[in-house]
Amino acid sequence: MIFTMAALLISIFEQETLINTSIRMRNNSLLEKASGVSVLVVMEHQNLTDAEQEQLHKIMQACRLEEGAYVICDTTATWLDFRMEEHLQTVILFGDLEQRFNINILIPIHQPVTFDGRNWIKTRPVSELMNNAQLKSAFWQQALKPIFVP
């Protein structure tokens, strides 16, 4: 019985180590992509539909951002992973992700906030923006345009 319990505990910890190692390796790859970018886009997950990907691409184009100027991450990463990136100027949260992204402020929706030396913008998830013209317009007029369009 004791041997079985010990084997079970070893198995659990080995799996946890594998998961954490996998997340760390993915985040390191993400950090390499983030090096030199000016905008970080944070989403709950990166499994977007084709329509959501197209909408996100249109949003970035409206902000005059080429694909190499921004990086997309999910909440397996945290602000601590990106904080030291000197070129990073703006963080856009698609959803109520402050706590999951490990920042200790609440950002009002569509109101740019300066925090930790960067502009922070929060909006609703892309799926909600696509289906709500009023919400999308408010996101553009109140949050994105003042930051990205001189």
H or E element at residue 135:
helix 133-138
Burial of 90 from C-beta contacts in 10 A (0-12 / 13-18 / 19+): buried
Query: Residue 95's closest CA among 52, 66, 65, 62?
Result: 52
Dihedral, 45, 51, 53, 55 alpha carbons, nearest 10? -110
pLDDT tens string 33-43: 566 689 999 99
Give the 3-state DSSP-derived string for 24-45, with helices as H, strands as E and coil as C.
HHHHHHHHHHHCCCCEEEEECC
Q: What is the pLDDT of residue 118?
A: 96
pLDDT tens string 68-108: 899 999 989 999 999 998 899 999 999 999 999 999 999 99
Domains and CATH numbers, the chain: 35-148 (3.40.470.10)
